[in-house]
Amino acid sequence: MACPSPCPSPGPSRAVTAKAASPAPDIHDVPLVALNFRVRSRLSLYLNPPTQVSAYWPALAEELGFQYLEILNLQTQPDPTRRLLDTWQTRERATVGRLLELLHKLERLDVLEDLRPSIDEDCKKYLKKKQQEEAEKPLQVPAVDSSNPQTLELMGITILDDPQGLVPELFDAFICYCPSDIQFVHEMIQRLEQTDCRLKLCVSDRDVLPGTCVWSITSELIEKRCRRMVVVISDEYLQSNECDFQTKFALSLCPGARQKRLIPVKYKPMKKEFPSILRFITLCDYTNPCTRSWFWPRLARALSQP
């Protein structure tokens, strides 16, 4: 791996390495929620594989104060590093600075050299957004300030969201489906999230917190939180008003499918006619046994495109 400039060298410059790896004062207290999905994914790539020559995720868990039974439970997870970070960020002292200190203590300088620029960038975005929100606060009494429910409604709408809305949870794809197709959605989760694909899907029944307007939340997720949308097509889908709204809303964001934002998936034979508004978009067909072995790699590749 090529070292970023300036590259620390052995011997006399060891102090320089330590200085580069220690957290900068302005980001030391930034909460862990500031780190976006891609940084966390890179951390998983470094810390998930067991290795005899360097510390990996169990050592980090011990430094964070996780108990033996908690670590055993993390071992059963498909992505233990991600689950470790998600769990830790709900506890005290879950800051970016603390994470950097521990990575340095565990001598994972390879992780620091690769990810420090991205971590710094995430922290700068977090601090900038927080400063902007403080500056834009209206000078009103609380009774008047609370008269705008739309902003509050879209803060903390998913289970891993920052409750203050400063760092929204992001996804690779929003899954549009009707309740009768949930079994296929479970298979999609297993194939795309719990494998080497490591994609992050937004599944409403699993990821969205209850209690707010369905239409407002789905619009926010499709437009601002998810890079793409997978539409699970079935006869039941054609009868769902919610699925119809989600599909038409996604199409309105990319007329003519120029951004390849919407991906229709047919997973079982249909008695009714295929929806006309999706006929011009290339279909991922799970019903054809001759091409089924290509289905998941093809879908994963489409969702991984920038």
pLDDT digit string, tens, across residues 168-209: 889 999 999 999 999 999 999 999 999 988 899 999 999 998
Better-scored residue on pLDDT, 229 or 211: 229
Residue 107 located in a structural domain: yes
Same domain (yes/no): 40, 120: yes
Which tens digit of pLDDT belongs to each residue from 246-256?
A: 999 988 887 65
pLDDT band per the 50, 70, 90 thresholds, residue 25: very low
> Could you tell me the CATH number of the domain that includes residue 115?
1.10.533.10
* Span 68-95, average pLDDT: 86
Same domain (yes/no): 128, 206: no
Of 208, 210, 190, the C-alpha closest to 198 is: 190
Q: Extract long-range pairs of 253-258: CB within 8 Å, 24+ residues apart.
A: 253/222, 253/223, 256/280, 257/281
> Could you tell me the CATH number of the domain that includes residue 208?
3.40.50.10140
Residue 68 located in a structural domain: yes
Listed residues 135, 157, 185: the one ending a domain: 135
What's residue 14's pLDDT? Answer: 40
Q: How far apart are CA 20 and CA 18, in angstroms?
A: 5
What is the model's pTM?
0.52
Same domain (yes/no): 232, 110: no
* Span 249-264, average pLDDT: 78
Same domain (yes/no): 113, 208: no
pLDDT band per the 50, 70, 90 thresholds, residue 7: very low
Cα separation values, 65 from 90, 91, 204, Å: 13, 11, 33
Strand-strand pairing, 171-176 and 226-233: parallel
Same domain (yes/no): 182, 296: yes
Same domain (yes/no): 214, 126: no
- For residue 260, pLDDT over 80 is answered with no
Residue 165 located in a structural domain: no
Which tens digit of pLDDT belongs to each residue from 27-49?
A: 678 888 888 888 899 999 999 99
> In total, how many domains does the chain have?
2
What's residue 26's pLDDT? Answer: 60
Residue 92 belongs to domain spanning: 27-135
Which residue do the tokens 């194939």 mark?
191
pLDDT band per the 50, 70, 90 thresholds, residue 290: very high
